[in-house]
Structure 1
Amino acid sequence: MLQVLRLTRWAQAQPPGSAWLTVAEQTRWHGFSQAARKQTYLAGRWQLRIELTGLLGGEPAAQPVDLAASGATTLAGTGLHANLSHSGDWLAVAIADAPIGVDIEQLNPKRDVLGLAQMVCSPAQIALLQAQPDALLRMQQFYRWWTLKEAWLKHRGQGLQFPTLQSLAFEAAGPDIAPAASGMLTEPPLAVALVSASALGPLPALPTGTPWQHLSPGSPPHPAAR
């Protein structure tokens, strides 16, 4: 069950230097060449520690956060799972009792969503997008699918796999059994998606935008053909 979902501007996180990062986090942090990417990474790791402090007590720098060899966030000895995402000025932190994936994407009307859909959507989803005459609704639906698919991969600890993304359908589900949820904020224009290994349970209200859509990925996708 989801315990924390925090959406915030990454510039609002105030990490005290970087000495509190673990060795694995330091290695990843130093691997970023762009200063802005290093700042967002640092802000996200610190915000995760702030949220854990609210759940577990103690001090942020002492929270049991690290990275697995795969790059996935670990919270040893807590029984909790965490995932982070960032887009534009925003970052998201999700913490749950089961493996969790969160993805956010700031809507960009300059993007060719029909072109991008060819890489990540199924033929049926592409047809629905092509049939949508309203450009805003078309863009919003694409970003809903895109974030849901990314969050699905993240909760499984998998990297980018286009055949798997294309196979994910997502179907309506009741809130008591839904392992996935999609939200759309209007200010800022931001798509938010959560996918868990178990039912998410009650979700916090979004500050602006539409109510959550409760979903299930449907049948597990077949492994990509080799």
Structure 2
Amino acid sequence: MPQRRSTEVRPADDTPVMRQFRSAKEQHPDALVFFRMGDFYELFYDDAVIASRALELTLTSRNKNSADEIPMAGLPHHAASGYVQRLLEQGFKVAICEQMADPKTVKGIVPREVVRVVSPGLTYDDNGLTPGQNHWVVALGELTFAALDFTTGELLAATVESREALLAELVRFDPKEIVLEPEVGQDLVGAIATLRPRTSRRIAARAFADELPGLDSVVAAAEAETIQPSVAARAAAAALVAVLRT
């Protein structure tokens, strides 16, 4: 899993645009923020350094040759799909921060908001899909397994009897991303890292059971038979539904 460095805040560069960027970054600290500026997406600070290496972009800077020099890198907005897909394939998460109004009609700063967050288990568009191939994201607890294909809506969840059975399910589904329950032991984390060293992994923001209230509102009756009725299985499924909503 790619290691992320914290974004250094430069108080001296306190322009309205940079305040917008910092706000977006604070909301999504684990993502590379694609910040829309006209016909380009710009990345700043460590995001720019990381993206320049991963995408072979030219690394430039704001406030060049000053004490407040800030790394930046840019790419044309019309080419974003290919760049985002390359980052996802390398295990990065991307937040798209768009201009929410036409700059020609706005007096002052153009409003911007993060409109989409994409992780390796999600596709940015159809170009990231392989025809006839599932695109699974899995959630793992100590003895709980759930799998969701965001492209087809297939959702399965179950409890298993052993660690070996859990890891066998992981191999069988060959996921694009793994979501781990916060309480899982380091021995399981290590086993997963050994078994799937290149698969993106993340720790869920909350315990799987805390996501249960959001499950019934999205799981259709036709899909319910693929989810075991146990609380643990339903909680793992709920964790994946929560990922879809982020």
- TM-score normalised to structure 2 length: 0.30
Larger radius of gyration: 2
Tell me: higher relative CO, structure 1 or 2? Use CA pairs within 8 A at least 6 residues apart: 1
- TM-score normalised to structure 1 length: 0.32
